């Protein structure tokens, strides 16, 4: 390895790479969408601008590619990807269904909400699935993610950079959150999205489908909801009981073990996502 090697925003010594090495963080991404939907303006912006209803799997693929680029791309690649997102957001507006006010989707508060909901979900899901991290590593993860937030236009000084700051941020935001029609419709869509026809299944009422893939995904989605903070579950009409938290921990740990077992049967070169593999090769760790 030489000083000329560009390891991107983070690198092999970062807590970010340690956390995102875990495939289970994908479930954290789903959890974050449920959490994000509790912000009335944020979910309105998504509902009025995103094509997730007509092309959910395409949007998932594009989002995954962006996240992968920020995590594992070179500095230039990450900056280019974030620049495209900033330009896209700068052209978008939405209407607040409660007030009728038109607002820009790149409002600092909305960008910050999406960022914190996402990184907290990634980290929380990985830890509850069994990834061991010290308190110092948790704080380092949040501090590292300030760089990702800055790239999309968030002022670094406003970004929570430790577990305590994230907890304070959520406490301050809770009075502004709630379940709206957009929230409910988004949550329902996330829980029972359309399954590609190629997966094979037989149709049911409401356009839903029944089959192994549907039930497997439904179990994953309900685990994502159960992993939400108790106050967020209550906003969705669920329960804030500790027993729900314990059940969620058992479920997510079970999913993590199933993923590990499935990967063990896959040839070694295919066990690592392409972007991560390329980053490891640049670092001389392939």
pLDDT digit string (tens) for the chain, length 286 residues: 445 788 999 999 999 999 999 999 999 999 999 999 999 999 999 999 877 777 777 777 888 999 999 999 999 999 999 999 999 999 999 999 889 999 999 999 999 999 999 999 999 999 999 999 999 999 999 999 999 999 999 999 999 999 999 999 999 999 999 999 999 999 999 998 775 554 444 444 434 445 666 778 888 999 999 999 999 999 999 866 667 788 899 999 999 999 989 888 888 777 888 899 999 999 998 7
Asked whether residue 286 is domain-assigned, the answer is no
Asked whether residue 21 is domain-assigned, the answer is yes
pTM of the model: 0.89
Asked whether residue 8 is domain-assigned, the answer is no
Asked whether residue 285 is domain-assigned, the answer is no
Asked whether residue 72 is domain-assigned, the answer is yes
Instruction: Indicate the number of domains in the chain.
Output: 1
Full domain range(s) for residue 41: 15-195+207-263
Tell me the backbone φ, ψ of residue 103, rounded to 5 degrees.
-140, 160
């Amino acid at each position: 390895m030489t000083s000329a090697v560009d390891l991107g925003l983070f690198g092999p010594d970062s807590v970010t790479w340690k956390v995102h090495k875990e495939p289970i963080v994908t479930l954290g991404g789903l959890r974050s969408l449920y959490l994000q939907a509790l912000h009335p303006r944020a979910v309105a912006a998504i509902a009025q601008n995103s094509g997730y209803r007509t092309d959910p799997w395409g949007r998932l693929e594009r989002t995954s590619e962006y996240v992968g680029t920020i995590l594992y791309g070179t500095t230039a690649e990450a900056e280019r990807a974030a620049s495209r997102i900033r330009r896209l957001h700068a052209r978008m507006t939405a209407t607040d269904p409660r007030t009728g006010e038109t607002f820009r989707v790149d409002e600092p508060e909305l960008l910050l909400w999406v960022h914190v909901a996402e990184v907290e979900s990634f980290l929380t899901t990985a830890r509850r699935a069994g990834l061991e991290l010290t308190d110092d590593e948790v704080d380092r993860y949040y501090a590292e993610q300030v760089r990702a937030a800055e790239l999309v236009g968030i002022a670094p000084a406003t970004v929570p950079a430790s577990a305590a700051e994230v907890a304070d941020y959520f406490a301050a935001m809770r009075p502004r959150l709630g379940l709206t029609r957009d929230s409910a419709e988004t949550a329902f869509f996330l829980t029972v999205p359309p399954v590609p026809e190629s997966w094979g299944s037989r149709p049911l009422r409401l356009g839903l489908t029944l089959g192994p893939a549907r039930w497997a995904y439904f179990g994953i989605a309900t685990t994502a909801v159960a992993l939400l903070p108790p106050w967020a579950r209550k906003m969705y009409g669920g329960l804030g009981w500790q027993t729900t938290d314990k059940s969620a921990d058992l479920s997510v740990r079970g999913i993590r073990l199933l993923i590990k077992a499935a990967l063990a049967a896959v040839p070694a070169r295919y066990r690592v996502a392409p972007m991560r593999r390329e980053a490891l090769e640049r670092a001389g760790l392939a």
